[in-house]
Amino acid sequence: MNLIKTTILLFSISLTGISEAEDKKAIGMVVTANPVATEAGLKILRAGGSAIDAAIAVESTLSLVEPQSSGLGGGGFMVHYDAKTKTIDYYNGRETAPLGATKDMFLDKNGKKLHFLKAKDSGFSIGVPGVLAMLEMAYQSHGKLPWKDLFDTAIDHSTKGFSVSPRMHKSIKFYGKYFFKSRDHGPLDLYNYLHLDNGKALPVGHILKNPKYAKTLKTIAHNPSDFYNGKIAAEIVASAQQTPNAGKLSKKDMANYKAVKRAPYCSKYRENKLCGSALPSSWVSVSMVMSLLNEAPKFSAKGSDDPANWTLLAEALRITYADNNKFIADDDFVEVPIKGLMSDAYIKDRAKLISRSGANNNIVAGNPWDYQDKNAGENFGKDATPDTEGTTHFVIVDAEGNVVSMTATVEGYFGSQRMAGGMILNNQLTDFSFYYEDAEGRPIANAVAPGKRPRSSMSPTIVLDENDNFLMAVGSPGGRNIISYVAKAVVGILSWGMSAQDAIDLPNMVAKTDRIRIERHRATPELIKALRDFGYDVFESEGEISGLSAIVKLSDGSLQGGADPRREGTVGILYSTDL
């Protein structure tokens, strides 16, 4: 927007409240977990870019300003809605395990699983980063502006420096004692990058430059294939192969990497169509929660004010998690009973476990194999996949109504603690089960194998109305809690009639087992008591680390955004007057 337009607009707003709505119709939107990244996306939309163009600017900027969560050294999933064709595509940029990966790579010499941090902060936790290949693939179909221009903001901030945000500072402090302090334990470049000379975490507002990342981005802007086949690939491989705790990631693994485009999974919730990422994402579990709620006793009209409505959601979540643990994995490698899990008959039977009268404790996985033609029925063993939180979610709607809902991750805080080309490299392979079989010798679906992608909880979601028009996009970081966070937001918006922001602000309730967690400061004492009376062992948590971002299209066609107050997200609006 130029200065004159801005002045006129501000003038008209201050004088006439009513004309504000007309002048300022929101026709596009960017919601990310960081204000600098939101602005990067908005800049692209203002230049006439598509949602995919903006996603590239956002992710390359997040890589710099929110390095604890995601970046080009990591992976992600995206669902994209094409407003012209009214179709949704799913893009899979999940990391792959190197060819040298072995099923026992997370076990010590006695066959016991490694300590999580020993595995995380190592070269062998690094999978081939998939985010860039995925974005490039989506750009081939949906990009509008020149590829080389999409990295300008990130290059600018890495060259001139950006201001360390409160959350980035907090993450550095939080991870403080786990950073390598001596070269004997691991490479020190990340520690040096994130700390002052006196060893203190970079303070809030510190201007941090990353010239190596600027160089990487300039290379990518002109020759993206360098990332998988050139100097950048060589740097990534060299970093992963450093001792101690070297990994086996090779140039061949980098060159072999392919992002995947597939049809999304879709299911019905009430009259709407819910779509999201297919395997190895756990989105099928978000779908299952919502499908169970279709069959469960109906919510009362009191929405979030009625504790009984929360118990219905909790029961649907607990049933879903029991199945998720057991069956979800990379279906290029193992047979997953996805048809059974999504079949009406299975959902109807599982929903019978939900009652209004009390908690159905000791819920175990069902048998979805019985609900599909192919009764391949591998009797998978008890999973042993650990869980951490280092992820981000953003949503974008462009001026033409195309939508991106993308979750990206380096897996744990600051990934593997190794860097290459100014990027933090992921530790995504710890999203595999550390054991490959359970105590009874049954194979574990999410075990490591060369070329395999680890199971993920990331669940980018897009909801359409009955005519396939866009209705909402949502997603969140939070490890396995993502399923609970996203389901809460969908229920809040679609069933309890809340705005995107109010639904995000609702207490997060994570219901995986007989013990359920709810945020103490957001839940009312009445709700907590009611959950206990219903039969749950309730843990009042001090807070949850969701990072929900949502955009909703209202019935008048305008857009409404919501960003999670638990992180530092912002809603950026593209106005009709901006173009």
Which residues are annotated as catalytic? Answer: 391
Token pair, residue 65, equals 């300003």
The answer to whether 346 and 284 are in contact (CB under 8 A) is no
- The minimum distance between CB 388 and ligand GLU, in angstroms, equals 6
Tell me: does residue 456 bind ligand GLU (CB under 6 A): yes
Tell me: does residue 482 bind ligand GLU (CB under 6 A): yes
Backbone angles phi, psi at 462, to 5 degrees: -130, 135
Q: In this chain, which of 165, 311, 325, 409 binds ligand GLU, going by CB under 6 A?
A: 409
Tell me the three state secondary structure of residue 276: strand
- The minimum distance between CB 482 and ligand GLU, in angstroms, equals 6
Cα distance between residue 390 and residue 427, in whole Å = 10
Cα distance between residue 366 and residue 319, in whole Å = 9
Tell me the three state secondary structure of residue 78: strand
Stretch binding ligand GLU (CB under 6 A), from 9-17, 151-159, 455-463, 494-502: 455-463
90: left (phi over 0), alpha (psi -120 to 50) or beta: beta
- The minimum distance between CB 389 and ligand GLU, in angstroms, equals 4
Instruction: Name the one residue in this structure whose structure tokens are 């997200």.
Output: 569
Cα distance between residue 109 and residue 111, in whole Å = 5
Token pair, residue 130, equals 């998939």
Tell me: does residue 68 bind ligand GLU (CB under 6 A): no
Instruction: List the interface residues with ligand GLU, window 81-120 (CB under 6 A).
Output: none
- The minimum distance between CB 510 and ligand GLU, in angstroms, equals 13
Closest alpha carbon to 407 in 468, 481, 494, 317: 481
Tell me: does residue 431 bind ligand GLU (CB under 6 A): yes
Q: In this chain, which of 320, 457, 495, 549 binds ligand GLU, going by CB under 6 A?
A: 457
The end-to-end CA distance of the chain, in Å, is 7
Instruction: Return the number of the residue (124 or 346) whose C-beta is nearest ligand GLU.
Output: 124
Stretch binding ligand GLU (CB under 6 A), from 356-364, 439-447, 477-485, 516-524: 477-485
Instruction: Return the number of the residue (80 or 453) whose C-beta is nearest ligand GLU.
Output: 453
Side-chain-side CA neighbours of 74 within 13 Å: the count stands at 34
Instruction: Return the number of the residue (50 or 481) whose C-beta is nearest ligand GLU.
Output: 481
The answer to whether 233 and 251 are in contact (CB under 8 A) is yes
- The minimum distance between CB 546 and ligand GLU, in angstroms, equals 9
Tell me: does residue 425 bind ligand GLU (CB under 6 A): no
Token pair, residue 75, equals 């992976």
Instruction: List the interface residues with ligand GLU, window 290-309 (CB under 6 A).
Output: none
Q: In this chain, which of 391, 446, 549, 560 binds ligand GLU, going by CB under 6 A?
A: 391
Token pair, residue 109, equals 């010499």
Q: What pairing do the DSSP bridges indicate for beta strands 570-575 and 403-409?
A: unpaired
Stretch binding ligand GLU (CB under 6 A), from 152-160, 240-248, 316-324, 473-481: 473-481
- The minimum distance between CB 393 and ligand GLU, in angstroms, equals 9
How many amino acids of this chain bind ligand GLU (CB under 6 A)? Answer: 13
Tell me: does residue 415 bind ligand GLU (CB under 6 A): no
Tell me: does residue 416 bind ligand GLU (CB under 6 A): no
Instruction: List the interface residues with ligand GLU, window 511-570 (CB under 6 A).
Output: none
Tell me: does residue 390 bind ligand GLU (CB under 6 A): yes
Stretch binding ligand GLU (CB under 6 A), from 27-35, 226-234, 475-483, 502-510: 475-483
> Does residue 244 have a cis peptide bond before it, meaning omega lies within 30 degrees of 0?
yes
User: Hey, what amino acid is at 148?
Assistant: K
Stretch binding ligand GLU (CB under 6 A), from 136-144, 313-321, 389-397, 550-558: 389-397
Cα distance between residue 94 and residue 452, in whole Å = 10
Helix axes 35-46, 51-65, angle to 10 degrees: 150
Q: In this chain, which of 477, 507, 562, 569 binds ligand GLU, going by CB under 6 A?
A: 477
Q: Using the Cα atoms of residue 512, residue 515, residue 519 and residue 523 in order, give the sign of their dihedral.
A: positive
Stretch binding ligand GLU (CB under 6 A), from 38-46, 175-183, 253-261, 472-480: 472-480
Q: In this chain, which of 389, 398, 519, 578 binds ligand GLU, going by CB under 6 A?
A: 389
Residues for the chain: how many in total? Answer: 579
- The minimum distance between CB 352 and ligand GLU, in angstroms, equals 29
- The minimum distance between CB 216 and ligand GLU, in angstroms, equals 23
Tell me: does residue 458 bind ligand GLU (CB under 6 A): yes
Partner residues linked to 29 by β-bridges = 397, 573
Q: What pairing do the DSSP bridges indicate for beta strands 272-276 and 265-269?
A: antiparallel
Closest alpha carbon to 423 in 100, 120, 132, 39: 132
- The minimum distance between CB 277 and ligand GLU, in angstroms, equals 10
Instruction: Return the number of the residue (402 or 546) whose C-beta is nearest ligand GLU.
Output: 546
Cβ-count burial 297-323 (b if 16+ within 10 Å, e if not): bebeeebbebbebbbbbbbbbbbbbbb
Tell me: does residue 478 bind ligand GLU (CB under 6 A): yes
Instruction: Return the number of the residue (478 or 561) whose C-beta is nearest ligand GLU.
Output: 478
Q: What pairing do the DSSP bridges indicate for beta strands 418-420 and 403-409?
A: unpaired
Q: Which residues in this chain contact ligand GLU in the complex, by CB under 6 A?
A: 389-391, 409, 411, 431, 456-458, 477-479, 482
